Amino acid sequence: MDSFPAPATALVEQMRSNAAQHPAQAMAFQGAPGANSHRAALEYAPGALPLPCFSFEDAIDAVKSGQADSAIIPIENSQHGRVADIHFLLPESGLSIVGEYFLPIHHALMALPHPDGSLGPFEAAYSHPQALGQSRHYLRARGIVPLSHADTAGAAAYVAERGDPAIAAIAPALAADLYGLQIAQDRVEDADDNTTRFVVLAREALDPATLEGQPAMTTFVFEVKNIPAALYKAMGGFATNGVNMTKLESYQKGASFAATMFYADIVGAPGDPAVDRAMEELAFHCKELRVLGSYPLARERG
């Protein structure tokens, strides 16, 4: 599926051509060139060939099919919470998490100038729902209507395509250069420490033994048995073994609302005796337990 605005199409095709020639160096990302995921790919793996994909599913499929060696996917933002439903996408994908990356997020308000060279006022601004949420106070204070788009850079390309100076985009500053827009105001995010966490996905999981001696993270999903206090008992092993659980989210499995899955991150990896004991105790209380990957810790927790 492709629905990139026309101003982005040539860039997308060029980047796809480069990636197709060297798929072992390709890193898939969701969004048009200039998106924050594009920035994350360039910063996480400077030697990689970024491969733009329209959706998260397309980026995952690119890795599964061998078009790309890996994908970099945003999963949570410090200001606006969950980004991608990774707990739905990843368990079904067959891919593993092999890395994480934290990207400081800065948004710019950009648009085409009026014939006299001035910018604004703006009736509306297009962007990804996450970026709109991260800039909602800025937009509200100025009476700018937020309008959703598939990604930030794609919104910039769309604004360039429409040619209406009353319509702006919220996107990384790089997108203004790529699509011929001018920046009306930089850093319109509502929090100075706005940060997004990305995970890197690959076909093969890292061997936890290769992480020995360095800080690591492990991500997994599980479903506890349907008995009283099952979750409480399942979590007890992490407390008694001193394993730090940094994330625990629940989500419904199917439409019956009778089965709840949990998505969790812990500091440590299998092979660490404390982690092994905690995971063994967790498994005892679970109907299902699936490790999604162990990988180097990019930022200290706690």
For the four alpha carbons of 3, 6, 7 and 8, in that order, the dihedral sign comes to: positive
CA-closest candidate to residue 96, choices 290, 300, 251: 290
Question: Which strand (E) or helix (H) includes residue 16?
Answer: helix 6-21
- 56, 122, 152, 196: which is the annotated catalytic residue? 196
31: helix, coil or strand?
A: coil
What phi and psi values does residue 115 have, to the nearest 5 degrees? -55, -30
For 171-200, what is the HEC assignment?
ECHHHHHHHCCEEEEECCCCCCCCEEEEEE
- 56, 198, 222, 262: which is the annotated catalytic residue? 198
Residue 246 annotated in active site: no
Residue 220 annotated in active site: no
| DSSP H helical ranges for the chain | 6-21, 36-44, 56-64, 86-93, 129-134, 136-141, 152-162, 173-179, 230-240, 273-284
Tell me the C-alpha distance between 301 and 244, whole Å: 9
- State the catalytic residues: 196, 198
